[in-house]
């Protein structure tokens, strides 16, 4: 895994917009209720990742886990040899459209919300090419490379990932809307106009999905806060502002209530004493 790990570390140092994320720590991280907004591939390059209410899913160094979108899942990141290091690639629902047709046979029998597998040499090379192309390629190429990753996973026998995608529902669209608007106040009338539906229809469809407008907004705000704490060196105050909170203390209270630890405590897992 060393060539891929070295390529990722070199690429993230360039401090540019990238279609992937890297989560690292030097101390154990225990996080509750982590939202998975879209289908997500996590490749563990160093350490161990445990997931689930009782840590029943275990992903070791040299393995990957593919997760369906979920409002909340518990995670534990455990360093090995003084470091936990994972690569995260988020997929849009549209990335799967053509691929579903190609690999449709036998997919419906899979009902899991996750898939754990080995990061084979083929997959490692595909990921390395994806990381390398991010330096020079336009975003349209990023999308094609992401689809290559899905195609390869299917080729390697992991067609079950196609059953985890589901439909791009109202909650997903609303989540994207809040993120695109930088969490500015968005009125219900604006949302209904954008989604071309009445307020009663919006609330009814969200209820069928087991959610509300406020829950989706809070999930999006705190999910972004967690991501920024894991991937940047921005101060807690700046992150709170970017997530739409008027004060760092408000952000800290909401963050701890959701994830089980404060932003400062999470940051300490990424720094030496």
pLDDT at 97: 78
Give the domain ranges of the chain: 2-164, 170-268
pLDDT at 111: 57
Check if the beta carbon of residue 34 is closer than 8 Å to that of residue 72.
Answer: yes
pLDDT at 101: 55
Check if the beta carbon of residue 86 is closer than 8 Å to that of residue 29.
Answer: no
Express each pLDDT in 155-212 by its tens digit. Answer: 999 999 998 876 668 888 899 999 888 887 788 999 999 999 999 999 999 999 889 9
Q: Which of 71-80, 100-109, 180-189, 240-249 has the lowest mean pLDDT?
A: 100-109
Contacts of 237 (CB under 8 A, 6+ apart): 248
Q: Taking the domain 2-164, which CATH number applies?
A: 2.60.120.810
Same CATH topology for 2-164 and 170-268?
no
Q: Structure pTM?
A: 0.92
pLDDT at 183: 81
Which own/partner contact pairs does 227-230 have at CB distance under 8 Å and 24+ positions apart? 227/21, 229/263, 229/266, 229/267, 230/21, 230/23, 230/24, 230/266, 230/270
Instruction: Domain 170-268: state its class.
Output: mainly alpha
């Amino acid at each position: 895994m060393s060539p891929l790990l070295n390529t990722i570390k070199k690429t993230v140092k360039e401090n540019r917009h990238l279609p992937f994320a890297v989560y690292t720590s030097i101390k154990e991280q225990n996080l509750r209720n982590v939202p998975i907004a879209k289908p997500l591939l996590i490749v563990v390059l160093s350490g161990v990742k445990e997931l689930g209410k009782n840590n029943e899913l275990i992903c070791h160094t040299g393995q990957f886990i593919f997760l369906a979108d979920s409002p909340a899942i518990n995670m534990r990141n455990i360093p090995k040899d003084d470091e936990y290091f994972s690569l995260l690639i988020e997929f849009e629902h549209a990335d799967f459209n053509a691929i579903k047709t190609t690999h449709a046979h036998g997919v419906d029998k899979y009902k899991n919300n996750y898939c754990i597998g080995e990061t084979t040499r083929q997959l490692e090379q595909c990921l390395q090419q994806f990381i390398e192309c991010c330096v020079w390629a336009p975003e349209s190429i990023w999308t094609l490379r992401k689809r290559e990753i899905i195609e390869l996973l299917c080729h390697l026998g992991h067609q079950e990932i196609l059953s985890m995608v589901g439909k791009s529902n109202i909650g997903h669209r609303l989540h994207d809307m809040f993120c695109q608007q930088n969490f500015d106040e968005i009125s219900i009338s604006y949302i209904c106009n954008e989604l071309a539906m009445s307020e009663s229809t919006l609330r009814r469809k969200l209820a069928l999905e087991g959610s509300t407008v406020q829950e989706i907004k809070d999930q999006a705000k705190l999910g972004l806060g967690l991501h920024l704490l894991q991937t940047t060196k921005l101060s807690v105050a700046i992150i709170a502002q970017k997530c739409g909170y008027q004060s760092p203390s408000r952000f800290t209270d909401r963050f701890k209530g959701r994830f089980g630890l404060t932003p400062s405590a999470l940051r300490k897992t990424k720094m030496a004493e």
